[in-house]
Amino acid sequence: MNSLLKHDIDDILNSYPGLVISEQENDISLIGTLSFNASMEEIETIAANYDVIISIPSRYPDELPKVFPRGYKLDERFEHINPDDSFCLAVPFEERKLFDTNPTLLGFINNLVVPFLYSYSYFLKNGEYPFGERAHGNSGVLDYYQELFGSNDVKQIILSLYKFSIDGYKAHEMCPCGSGKKVLRCHKQQVKELLNNRELLRVELSRFING
Protein backbone atom coordinates (compact mmCIF):
# COMPACT_ATOMS: atom_id res chain seq x y z
CA MET A 1 0.00 0.00 0.00
CA ASN A 2 1.50 3.34 -1.03
CA SER A 3 1.73 6.25 1.39
CA LEU A 4 -0.99 8.28 -0.38
CA LEU A 5 -3.50 5.43 -0.13
CA LYS A 6 -2.53 4.81 3.50
CA HIS A 7 -3.18 8.47 4.31
CA ASP A 8 -6.53 8.28 2.52
CA ILE A 9 -7.54 5.21 4.49
CA ASP A 10 -6.41 6.70 7.81
CA ASP A 11 -8.66 9.71 7.17
CA ILE A 12 -11.62 7.40 6.56
CA LEU A 13 -11.01 5.30 9.66
CA ASN A 14 -10.92 8.49 11.73
CA SER A 15 -14.12 9.85 10.16
CA TYR A 16 -16.01 6.55 9.94
CA PRO A 17 -14.84 4.41 12.91
CA GLY A 18 -17.33 1.67 12.02
CA LEU A 19 -15.18 0.74 9.02
CA VAL A 20 -12.05 -1.40 9.17
CA ILE A 21 -9.42 -2.18 6.56
CA SER A 22 -9.14 -5.64 5.03
CA GLU A 23 -6.05 -6.62 3.01
CA GLN A 24 -5.82 -9.90 1.12
CA GLU A 25 -2.84 -10.14 -1.23
CA ASN A 26 -3.44 -7.25 -3.68
CA ASP A 27 -7.07 -6.67 -2.65
CA ILE A 28 -7.78 -3.81 -0.27
CA SER A 29 -11.27 -3.17 1.08
CA LEU A 30 -12.97 -1.14 3.75
CA ILE A 31 -15.56 -3.26 5.52
CA GLY A 32 -18.06 -2.53 8.25
CA THR A 33 -20.80 -0.11 9.23
CA LEU A 34 -20.99 3.25 7.53
CA SER A 35 -22.98 5.64 9.75
CA PHE A 36 -24.11 9.06 8.61
CA ASN A 37 -26.36 11.94 9.57
CA ALA A 38 -27.09 14.06 6.54
CA SER A 39 -29.44 16.58 5.00
CA MET A 40 -29.24 17.02 1.23
CA GLU A 41 -30.42 20.17 -0.55
CA GLU A 42 -32.38 21.26 2.55
CA ILE A 43 -34.52 18.12 2.43
CA GLU A 44 -35.13 16.23 5.67
CA THR A 45 -32.25 15.07 7.85
CA ILE A 46 -31.66 11.33 7.78
CA ALA A 47 -29.48 9.32 10.15
CA ALA A 48 -28.75 5.74 9.11
CA ASN A 49 -26.28 2.88 9.33
CA TYR A 50 -25.40 0.53 6.47
CA ASP A 51 -23.03 -2.41 6.38
CA VAL A 52 -20.88 -2.03 3.28
CA ILE A 53 -17.82 -3.30 1.48
CA ILE A 54 -15.79 -0.62 -0.29
CA SER A 55 -13.49 -2.40 -2.72
CA ILE A 56 -10.47 -0.30 -3.68
CA PRO A 57 -9.02 -1.26 -7.08
CA SER A 58 -5.28 -1.57 -7.64
CA ARG A 59 -5.53 1.23 -10.23
CA TYR A 60 -7.08 3.70 -7.76
CA PRO A 61 -7.45 6.66 -8.24
CA ASP A 62 -7.50 6.13 -12.01
CA GLU A 63 -10.22 3.57 -11.35
CA LEU A 64 -12.72 4.38 -8.61
CA PRO A 65 -13.83 2.01 -5.83
CA LYS A 66 -16.93 -0.14 -5.96
CA VAL A 67 -19.33 -0.27 -3.04
CA PHE A 68 -21.39 -3.34 -2.15
CA PRO A 69 -24.01 -4.03 0.52
CA ARG A 70 -22.61 -6.42 3.12
CA GLY A 71 -24.88 -9.28 4.14
CA TYR A 72 -28.05 -8.00 2.44
CA LYS A 73 -29.41 -6.79 -0.89
CA LEU A 74 -30.84 -3.39 -1.66
CA ASP A 75 -34.59 -3.23 -2.19
CA GLU A 76 -35.18 -4.24 -5.84
CA ARG A 77 -37.65 -1.35 -6.27
CA PHE A 78 -34.66 1.00 -5.99
CA GLU A 79 -33.33 1.14 -9.54
CA HIS A 80 -29.77 2.29 -8.98
CA ILE A 81 -28.14 -1.11 -8.52
CA ASN A 82 -25.54 -2.53 -10.89
CA PRO A 83 -25.74 -6.12 -12.21
CA ASP A 84 -22.99 -7.18 -9.76
CA ASP A 85 -25.10 -5.75 -6.87
CA SER A 86 -22.73 -2.81 -6.37
CA PHE A 87 -24.17 0.67 -5.81
CA CYS A 88 -24.75 2.68 -8.99
CA LEU A 89 -23.45 5.93 -7.51
CA ALA A 90 -23.74 8.04 -10.68
CA VAL A 91 -23.15 7.82 -14.41
CA PRO A 92 -19.39 7.31 -14.99
CA PHE A 93 -18.52 10.87 -15.98
CA GLU A 94 -20.58 12.42 -13.22
CA GLU A 95 -18.98 10.02 -10.74
CA ARG A 96 -15.51 11.04 -11.89
CA LYS A 97 -16.39 14.74 -11.83
CA LEU A 98 -17.74 14.51 -8.28
CA PHE A 99 -14.69 12.54 -7.18
CA ASP A 100 -12.33 15.11 -8.70
CA THR A 101 -13.83 17.88 -6.55
CA ASN A 102 -12.15 16.15 -3.59
CA PRO A 103 -10.01 13.32 -4.99
CA THR A 104 -9.60 11.26 -1.84
CA LEU A 105 -11.32 8.18 -0.46
CA LEU A 106 -12.95 10.35 2.18
CA GLY A 107 -14.23 12.65 -0.56
CA PHE A 108 -15.49 9.59 -2.45
CA ILE A 109 -17.55 8.51 0.56
CA ASN A 110 -18.81 11.98 1.45
CA ASN A 111 -19.66 13.10 -2.10
CA LEU A 112 -20.85 9.84 -3.63
CA VAL A 113 -21.56 7.05 -1.16
CA VAL A 114 -23.36 9.06 1.54
CA PRO A 115 -25.64 10.86 -0.99
CA PHE A 116 -26.45 7.45 -2.52
CA LEU A 117 -27.37 5.95 0.84
CA TYR A 118 -29.29 9.10 1.76
CA SER A 119 -31.30 8.72 -1.46
CA TYR A 120 -31.87 5.04 -0.73
CA SER A 121 -33.02 5.76 2.84
CA TYR A 122 -35.34 8.50 1.62
CA PHE A 123 -36.76 6.16 -1.02
CA LEU A 124 -37.48 3.45 1.55
CA LYS A 125 -39.22 5.94 3.80
CA ASN A 126 -41.17 7.97 1.24
CA GLY A 127 -41.49 5.74 -1.82
CA GLU A 128 -39.89 8.31 -4.11
CA TYR A 129 -36.47 9.70 -4.95
CA PRO A 130 -35.39 12.93 -3.24
CA PHE A 131 -33.46 14.52 -6.11
CA GLY A 132 -35.43 13.62 -9.23
CA GLU A 133 -32.82 11.00 -10.18
CA ARG A 134 -32.08 10.03 -13.74
CA ALA A 135 -33.03 6.66 -15.11
CA HIS A 136 -30.69 3.78 -14.35
CA GLY A 137 -28.23 2.25 -16.82
CA ASN A 138 -27.86 3.34 -20.44
CA SER A 139 -30.94 5.56 -20.30
CA GLY A 140 -29.40 7.50 -17.42
CA VAL A 141 -26.14 7.91 -19.33
CA LEU A 142 -27.98 9.32 -22.34
CA ASP A 143 -29.98 11.65 -20.08
CA TYR A 144 -26.70 12.94 -18.65
CA TYR A 145 -25.33 13.93 -22.06
CA GLN A 146 -28.62 15.49 -23.13
CA GLU A 147 -28.66 17.61 -19.98
CA LEU A 148 -24.99 18.52 -20.37
CA PHE A 149 -25.49 19.85 -23.90
CA GLY A 150 -29.09 21.07 -23.58
CA SER A 151 -30.19 19.04 -26.58
CA ASN A 152 -32.58 16.17 -27.32
CA ASP A 153 -30.57 15.06 -30.36
CA VAL A 154 -28.77 12.33 -28.47
CA LYS A 155 -27.57 10.60 -31.66
CA GLN A 156 -25.73 13.75 -32.78
CA ILE A 157 -24.21 14.18 -29.33
CA ILE A 158 -22.98 10.59 -29.09
CA LEU A 159 -21.54 10.46 -32.62
CA SER A 160 -19.71 13.79 -32.22
CA LEU A 161 -18.31 12.97 -28.81
CA TYR A 162 -17.19 9.52 -29.90
CA LYS A 163 -15.30 11.06 -32.83
CA PHE A 164 -13.71 13.61 -30.49
CA SER A 165 -12.72 10.82 -28.07
CA ILE A 166 -10.69 9.21 -30.87
CA ASP A 167 -9.36 12.19 -32.85
CA GLY A 168 -9.78 15.14 -30.50
CA TYR A 169 -11.42 18.25 -31.96
CA LYS A 170 -10.14 21.07 -34.12
CA ALA A 171 -11.10 24.74 -34.16
CA HIS A 172 -13.59 24.30 -37.01
CA GLU A 173 -15.49 21.37 -35.43
CA MET A 174 -19.21 21.86 -34.83
CA CYS A 175 -20.58 21.57 -31.31
CA PRO A 176 -22.21 18.23 -30.40
CA CYS A 177 -25.35 20.06 -29.24
CA GLY A 178 -26.42 20.67 -32.85
CA SER A 179 -26.59 24.46 -32.52
CA GLY A 180 -24.60 24.94 -35.72
CA LYS A 181 -21.92 26.83 -33.78
CA LYS A 182 -18.31 25.79 -33.49
CA VAL A 183 -17.31 24.06 -30.26
CA LEU A 184 -15.09 27.01 -29.31
CA ARG A 185 -18.13 29.32 -29.35
CA CYS A 186 -20.56 26.94 -27.72
CA HIS A 187 -20.04 24.06 -25.25
CA LYS A 188 -16.25 24.37 -25.19
CA GLN A 189 -15.90 23.83 -21.43
CA GLN A 190 -18.13 20.74 -21.39
CA VAL A 191 -16.23 19.14 -24.27
CA LYS A 192 -12.89 19.99 -22.68
CA GLU A 193 -13.88 18.37 -19.37
CA LEU A 194 -15.08 15.22 -21.13
CA LEU A 195 -11.86 14.92 -23.14
CA ASN A 196 -9.80 15.16 -19.97
CA ASN A 197 -10.90 11.54 -19.53
CA ARG A 198 -10.79 10.55 -23.18
CA GLU A 199 -10.38 6.83 -22.57
CA LEU A 200 -13.37 6.73 -20.22
CA LEU A 201 -15.43 8.70 -22.75
CA ARG A 202 -14.50 6.37 -25.61
CA VAL A 203 -15.29 3.23 -23.62
CA GLU A 204 -18.58 4.62 -22.34
CA LEU A 205 -19.81 5.75 -25.77
CA SER A 206 -18.61 2.67 -27.64
CA ARG A 207 -21.53 0.64 -26.24
CA PHE A 208 -23.94 2.98 -28.07
CA ILE A 209 -21.87 3.10 -31.26
CA ASN A 210 -21.30 -0.66 -31.43
CA GLY A 211 -24.51 -1.77 -29.73
Backbone angles phi, psi at 197, to 5 degrees: -125, 60
Q: What SS3 state is found at 154? A: helix
| Full DSSP string of 23-39 | EETTEEEEEEEEEEEEE
For residues 140 and 112, what is the distance between their CA atoms, to the nearest angstrom? Answer: 16
Q: What is the mean pLDDT of the chain?
A: 91
Against a cut of 0.85, is the pTM above it? no
Residues 81-93 have a mean pLDDT of: 92
pLDDT(120) > 70: yes
Per-residue pLDDT, 133: 67
Residues 35-56 have a mean pLDDT of: 92
Percent of the chain with pLDDT over 90: 65
Per-residue pLDDT, 211: 60
* Contact residues for 196 (Cβ-Cβ < 8 A; gap 6+): none
Backbone angles phi, psi at 67, to 5 degrees: -120, 130
Beta-bridge mates of residue 51: 33
Give the CA-trace dihedral at 23, 27, 33, 36, to 10 degrees: 120
Most confident of 37-41, 54-58, 136-140, 194-198: 54-58
Q: What tens digit of pLDDT does each residue of 154-204 get?
A: 999 999 999 999 998 887 899 999 999 999 999 999 999 899 888 888 988
The beta strands (E) that lie in the chain are given as 19-24, 27-39, 45-56, 66-69
Higher pLDDT, 125 or 42: 125
Residues 125-138 have a mean pLDDT of: 80
Per-residue pLDDT, 178: 93
Per-residue pLDDT, 42: 77
Backbone angles phi, psi at 83, to 5 degrees: -55, -25
Per-residue pLDDT, 196: 87
Per-residue pLDDT, 3: 77
Structural contact between residues 46 and 38, judged by C-beta atoms closer than 8 angstroms: yes
Residues 96-110 have a mean pLDDT of: 94
Structural contact between residues 91 and 200, judged by C-beta atoms closer than 8 angstroms: no
